[in-house]
Chain A
Amino acid sequence: MAASAGPRPGWSRRAQYSLFFSFLAVVAGLIVGLILLILSLVAPQSYATVRGAALDVTAPITGALSEVTTTVTGLTSGAGNYWDAAQQNAELKRQRASLMRRMVEARAILEENQQLKAALQLREQTSKAVATGRVVGSSFESPRRFAVISVGSSDGVAVGMPVRAPEGLIGRIIEAGMLASRVLLVTDRANIVPARILKGGQPVISTGRGDGTIDVRPLEVGKNPFKPGDIIVTSGTGGLYPPLVPIAKVIRLDDDGAIAIPIADPSRVSFAIVEAPFEPTALAVAARPDSEAP
């Protein structure tokens, strides 16, 4: 096969000039592209408005499509549930009984905890949900780990706010449109969360690995403090993320840290809850594009 059938302008001056100007225009396009790229690397917030607007236009499409897939999966899994209803019923009854026992224990611990806290006169801010939305899409074509959620600045969402699911931490807002916003997931390399091991409370740092897992390292050098199965929770240091939100579960140890998988899987969670920063002053710091969360 010959090289692609090109525009061969022949003897027409007009056609020759138009081809030449098209070439000049694409060179100009390359230069403009490079300038825009450098600008977005140096000052990522300079496109906040246009990117927010693009999110508002595209997120409803994703939202509608995700509605369709949710309905279809709901129908199939619903039919599956009817299939072995009797066995499931027995299983659920057994689980309910055991959960009831544990709930009573937990309530007793909670009461005791409240009394102790009152004794210590701890002032604690209760974090209130700013907005609740669904995770509708993700950046599955890019090395970064972003998700799109269906709430935006019209619901009170602002850049830097932490996002969590009932199960655990999802990430923080990095772009807010009117109707939708983009979340930097905890599995992204640029998302660094101050955390601690739930059992023992040793402070650690959690960083995404970009492939759906999380890298956890202890703050103090020494013996590797992790054990497979350890739960990592936020420590609340820095004031952006509220303390004691589960982040990940350790699955494997490496030389001086461990690899963990996130507890709140963005593809499974039913709701994403946007919360105000634990300490309001943290928002100003987090809004800075290059800040690696407190």
Chain B
Amino acid sequence: MVRSALGQRSAAIGRGPRAGADYVPASTVLIGSMVSLLPIVSSTGWWPDWGLMLLVAWRLLRADAWPAWWAAPLGFVNDLIVGNPVGLSIALWSAIMIAMDVLDRRTMWRDYWIEWAIAALFIGLAELAQWRVAAILGASVPLSMSAGPAIIIGVLCFPVAAFLAARLDRWRLGR
């Protein structure tokens, strides 16, 4: 709603997007990938992938957060930072962008629960792909011990990512 002239706060008039607003979404995804640089030495790998969660949160919020193809370079950086096999996030994140384009065309209306369900689907598929790739590379761990808990924790943490994306969106657009 750009009816700021009618709003309470007249100071809102003349405030536009911040400088570099176009690059805020992509850089928050980068920062999300960098969460894995925190000096946490954990014996399990159940923590959520913040890069992926912020990517999904931004894409659910806006289709024009970044040009769709930026998912590939962002995924490459994520692979290098997190230490995944190179190519895993590139392929996954590009596929998520394409799937979201299709979803945007097929769905007319969606509420928060549907968005959460879509995000849960993407997070689940991503964790399963990671688990499968680890198995191919010689580390076939039972599902209940790696991908299962990781999916549950990731899905439960997604609202935090969605909240962050929504607040950052308002901040970058100066609303």
Contacts and interface: CB of A to CB of B under 8 A. Distances in A.
B156 interface: no
A278 interface: no
A26 B94 contact: yes
B80 A32 contact: no
Given A33-B94, A211-B145, A50 B41 contact: no
A110 to B, nearest CB: 34
B14 interface: no
State the majority secondary structure of interface residues on B: helix
A26 B39 contact: no
A1 B110 contact: yes
B104 to A, nearest CB: 5
B109 A37 contact: no
Contacts of B98: 23, 26-27, 30
A44 B85 contact: yes
Contacts of A6: 63-64, 104
Contacts of A47: 86
A59 to B, nearest CB: 8
Interface string A3-26: 111110000000000000011011
Nearest to A175: B83
A66 B119 CA distance: 32
B93 to A, nearest CB: 8
B138 A210 contact: no
Contact of B37 (A37, A38, A58, A189): A58
B87 A138 contact: no
B84 interface: yes
Greatest chain B CB density within 10 A among A58, A136, A143, A211 is at A143
Contacts of B82: 139, 141-142
A30 B85 contact: no
Contacts of A210: 44-45, 139, 141, 145-146
Interface size class of B (residues with CB under 8 A): 35 or more
Given A7-B64, A267-B41, A37 B110 contact: no
A62 interface: yes
Interface in A264-293: 265-267, 290, 292
A190 to B, nearest CB: 4
B95 interface: yes
B87 A3 contact: no
Interface in A133-176: 135-147
A37 B133 CA distance: 9
A135 B42 CA distance: 11
Given A138-B42, A211-B43, A4 B88 contact: no
Contacts of B54: none
B90 A37 contact: yes
Nearest to B80: A54
Nearest to B77: A54
B145 to A, nearest CB: 5
A85 B13 CA distance: 63
Given A30-B98, A136-B39, 10 more contacts: A4-B60, A6-B104, A26-B94, A35-B87, A37-B90, A44-B85, A50-B86, A61-B37, A137-B38, A209-B145
Interface of B: 34-50, 59-64, 67-69, 71-72, 75, 80-95, 97-98, 100-101, 103-104, 107-112, 130-131, 133-134, 136-141, 145-147, 150
Interface of A: 1-7, 22-23, 25-30, 32-41, 44, 47, 50-51, 54, 58, 61-63, 65-66, 69, 135-147, 182, 187-190, 208-212, 265-267, 290, 292
26 contacts: A1-B109, A3-B104, A5-B62, A28-B69, A34-B91, A40-B88, A51-B86, A58-B34, A58-B37, A62-B37, A65-B37, A69-B39, A137-B40, A138-B40, A140-B40, A141-B48, A142-B84, A143-B45, A143-B146, A147-B41, A189-B134, A190-B139, A210-B45, A211-B146, A265-B43, A267-B41
